[in-house]
Amino acid sequence: MPPTESRLAAWLRRAGLLDWFLPALAAVVGLAYLFPQAGGPGSPLPWDALNSGGVALVFFLYGLKLSLSSLRNGTRNWRLHLLIQLTTFLLFPLLALAVRPLFGGAQGQLLWPSIFFLCVLPSTVSTSVVMVSMGRGNVPAAIFNASLSALIGIVLTPLWVRAVLQPTGGGSEGLSALALSLAWQVVVPVGAGVLLNSRFGEWAGSHKGHLRVLDQVVILSIVFTSFCESFAQGVFRSYAPATVALLGAGMVGLYFGVFGLVAGASRLLGFAAPDRTTAIFCGSKKSLVHGSVFASLLFPGAAATGALLLPLMLYHALQIVLASIMAQQFGRAALRAEAQPES
């Protein structure tokens, strides 16, 4: 093989462009566009149950790889936890408030509340931990912070929304169901895995590669069903193509802006590489699942049209694609650092 081809292939592999996961992401989005009903509520396959079961299995396997001592050590890093939660529930909303003057006109006045709603949502649970795992970050701390974010969001997200947007909807039954779902999909599986760590932890450690593939498959399933629902409901037809493209660019800017700020803060605080990875990937996520529930509770009319969820849908899709690529790169960098002999 010529040297130029070899160097090009090496660059593509480092960028994650020769990995199967990125083409698979593009493929499932394309399939969702062509066959939106295949992953929607009318599908013969029970996607909700499959995704919920997949998330629970992933968290059980995460717990299986954790000893009680490592989990205790992960929860004691209060500076890391504080940075992630402040990013999720303070930095994001402040950024949204800062750009509010830029949204003039009738359409801008309708669009900004949906952006603010995105910014006050909790972090994702499953994808945050999956990305941290792919990037070889601090998984115990990621599990702790992703779960904590979801719990805090049940209180802080409605408070932010009520204080700034003053919605008319509300209710507690959906929030209780969300908390119960969190317990069954995250807390119980992780707890069961941790309790079985002494018996099966060595097996889980020796099959990290296979378990990583399972993480990626679960993400692909979540992406497929999310895009199927958005295409089937015509979410992207609510605005002109130029507006959607501009909004998408804004979501990319928001993601990389938060990503850079958290990375800089992590370095200033002297975090080790695994903790920086955890802070970056947990702090930069927003949950589509929680957003859908909160939208139906707080804005029942807007949620029905899908307009409120448009920025969240765009951010959700972009954060998975961008974070997947970057998590792959973080993971490769960590492997190279581990392979280097100590001086």
52 vs 54: CA distance, rounded Å: 5
- Res 266: pLDDT: 95
* 271-281 tens-digit pLDDT: 999 999 999 99
- Residue 56 has, within 13 A of its CA and on its CB side, a CA count of 14
On whether residue 207 sits in a domain, the answer given is yes
On whether residue 72 sits in a domain, the answer given is yes
- Res 178: pLDDT: 57
Q: Are 221 and 54 in contact (CB under 8 A)?
A: yes
On whether residue 8 sits in a domain, the answer given is no
Helix (H, G, I), strand (E, B) or coil at 202: helix
Residue 256 has pLDDT above 90, yes or no: yes
- Residue 264 has, within 13 A of its CA and on its CB side, a CA count of 6
Collect all residues with Cβ–Cβ distance below 8 Å to 45 and sequence separation of at least 6. Answer: 38, 39
Interval 242-271 mean pLDDT: 92
Highest mean pLDDT among 98-112, 213-227, 255-269, 304-318: 255-269
On whether residue 281 sits in a domain, the answer given is yes
Domain extent for 85:
21-330
User: How many domains is the chain partitioned into structurally?
Assistant: 1
Average pLDDT, the chain: 79
On whether residue 341 sits in a domain, the answer given is no
- Res 16: pLDDT: 47
On whether residue 251 sits in a domain, the answer given is yes
Q: Which residue has the higher pLDDT, 82 or 332?
A: 82
Residue 146 has pLDDT above 90, yes or no: no
Task: Look up the CATH number of the domain holding residue 156.
Answer: 1.20.1530.20
Highest mean pLDDT among 7-16, 35-44, 254-263: 254-263
On whether residue 335 sits in a domain, the answer given is no
On whether residue 184 sits in a domain, the answer given is yes
43 vs 51: CA distance, rounded Å: 14
Residue 56 has pLDDT above 90, yes or no: no
Helix (H, G, I), strand (E, B) or coil at 122: coil
